[in-house]
């Protein structure tokens, strides 16, 4: 089964924050876990794909770039997006289809926006999804702490069934590229 690792909005300014915005929750662990999963992907010859949000740092400069703590493989593919949905207005879906990808492992920022949307869109676009439960983050909202938002989404998105395809939530230490969705069907 062909797979891909999709890392969304893991950008310098989004993760570290700026004068107006705080850093994401547990940013050091997020970066560490992204790097661990990238290494797993490389060992399994799984393509690594990054999506950057053009709204971050005005779409330019160091703040817009993938966080400098992340070990970006040289052969990674990078897409830039304008919408919350990584598939909207990008060639991401076509790229995955050209590789015959059937399973997507998702990580990045921000949990309740771009991560949630990517998981849901991927399942209705023909992919089984593994969300890395300790591999996505966000900031506190006015209602919930970042930790509550992350826990809520991990619970909500685990077993999300969109007819033919669905998502599972697993953690960094799991064998993420040993796709286990069929055992749940």
- pLDDT at site 183: 82
CA distance 53 to 156: 24
Enter the pTM of the model: 0.98
Whose tokens are 């703590």? That residue is 69
Bridge partners of 50, per DSSP, are 7, 78
Answer yes or no: are the C-beta atoms of 49 and 5 closer than 8 Å: yes
Q: Which fold has domain 2-184?
A: Rossmann fold (3.40.50)
- pLDDT at site 83: 97
Digitized pLDDT (tens) for each residue of the chain, 185 residues in all: 899 999 999 999 999 999 999 999 999 999 999 999 999 999 999 999 999 999 999 999 999 999 999 999 999 999 999 999 999 999 999 999 999 999 999 999 999 999 999 999 999 999 999 999 999 999 999 999 999 999 999 999 999 887 789 999 999 999 999 999 888 77
Tokens in use for 132?
């890395």
- pLDDT at site 1: 82
**66 Cα distance to chain centroid:** 13
Domain chopping of the chain, boundaries? 2-184
- Tell which residue, 123, 99, 109, 130, has the closest CA to residue 25: 109
């Amino acid at each position: 089964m062909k797979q891909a690792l999709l890392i969304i909005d893991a950008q310098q300014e989004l993760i570290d924050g700026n004068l107006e915005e705080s850093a994401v929750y547990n940013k050091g662990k997020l970066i560490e876990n992204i790097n661990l999963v990238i290494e797993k992907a490389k060992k399994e010859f799984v393509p690594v794909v990054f999506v950057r949000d053009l709204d971050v740092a005005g779409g330019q400069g160091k703040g817009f770039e993938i966080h400098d703590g992340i070990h970006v493989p040289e052969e990674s593919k990078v897409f830039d997006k304008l919408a919350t949905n990584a598939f909207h207005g990008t060639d991401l879906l076509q790229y995955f289809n050209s590789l015959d990808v059937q399973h997507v492992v998702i990580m990045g920022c921000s949990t309740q926006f771009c991560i949630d949307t990517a998981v849901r869109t991927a399942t209705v676009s023909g992919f089984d999804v593994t969300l890395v439960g300790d591999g996505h983050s966000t900031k506190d909202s006015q209602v919930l702490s970042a930790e509550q938002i992350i826990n809520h989404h991990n619970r909500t998105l685990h077993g999300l069934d969109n007819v033919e395809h669905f998502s599972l939530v697993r953690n960094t230490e799991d064998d993420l590229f040993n796709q286990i969705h069929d055992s749940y069907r």
